[in-house]
Structure 1
Amino acid sequence: MNEGSILFPIAEVLSAVLLVMGAAITLIGSAGLLRLHTFYERVHAPTLGTTLGTACVALASMIYFSALGGRLVLHELLIVIFVTVTTPISLTVLVRAAVFRGTFESKKR
């Protein structure tokens, strides 16, 4: 980045809004982790916050650096795709492990 680079005002505003929105969504997901009571409730809120929050921050980064460099920047799409695919899978694995552990514990008694 050079100091003489000028961004379009719409790119500045759009990237700032997406960045704040992504941070707010992630914060809400983190607050859900603290506020909710059971494991099954707690695992859901951060998953949604992570997926949507990361997508908003990556989209803001794509818009900002595309406008700054004068060319289309798509590197962040890999991050969004990876997070979007792996987060629900890890949620499913965690919940199934908890269900298995719960049924195993109940059979033990």
Structure 2
Amino acid sequence: MTLQDIGAIATALCLLIGAGFTLVGAIGLVKFNDSMTRLHAPTKVGTVGVGALLLASILYSLTYKYGSAHEILIMAFLFVTAPISANFIAKVNIHRRSCETPPEPPQDDTWGTLNVPEADKAVSNPVGSTQS
């Protein structure tokens, strides 16, 4: 078995794993009812699936031609932006109250909730501005 054969098998394995994870993410996106539960499928499973597909591309380029750093840059961008965008989408759903309100924190009334302390209300709403 040559190095190219091992590279081809590893590439095929990464393609199958990536396609499987991406398929599960797409099915989860369609099957879940609530927008907050729908959010988990593409951000968690889909990111791993695309990461495996990019790993297959890296293995292929290293096996059959010169390597490339493009896939590594794409993977780094994907792994940095996917959690941030998921967090923003979740916060929008919470603030629009289009989902079930998260449980109250056990020891603090304001951290991570929609409650705002009175001192912060005075700072965020200066005199003469309207509250929305």
1:26 CA drift (Å): 0.5
Q: Distance in 2 between matches of 1:10 and 1:95?
A: 42
The one-letter code of the counterpart of 2:75 is: V
1:46 CA drift (Å): 1.1
Seq. identity, %:
34
The one-letter code of the counterpart of 2:69 is: L
State the TM-score, normalizing by the size of structure 1: 0.82
The one-letter code of the counterpart of 2:36 is: Y
2:78 corresponds to: 83
Whether the aligned pair in 2 keeps the contact of 1:7 and 1:68 (CA below 8 Å) is no
Structure 1: gaps of 5 or more residues? 1-5, 104-109
13, 16, 19: which one pairs with 1:17?
A: 13
The one-letter code of the counterpart of 2:9 is: V
Please tell me the root mean square deviation across aligned C-alpha atoms, in Å: 1.7
Q: Which has the larger radius of gyration?
A: 2
1:50 CA drift (Å): 2.3
**Residue-pair matches, total:** 97
State the TM-score, normalizing by the size of structure 2: 0.69
Structure 2: gaps of 5 or more residues? 99-132
The one-letter code of the counterpart of 1:12 is: A
With a CA cutoff of 8 Å and minimum separation of 6, indicate the structure with the bigger relative contact order.
Answer: 1
Residues 1:8 and 2:19 aligned together? no
Q: Distance in 2 between matches of 1:73 and 1:12?
A: 17
Runs of 4+ aligned structure 1 residues displaced above 6 Å come to: none
1:76 CA drift (Å): 0.4
1:7 CA drift (Å): 6.8
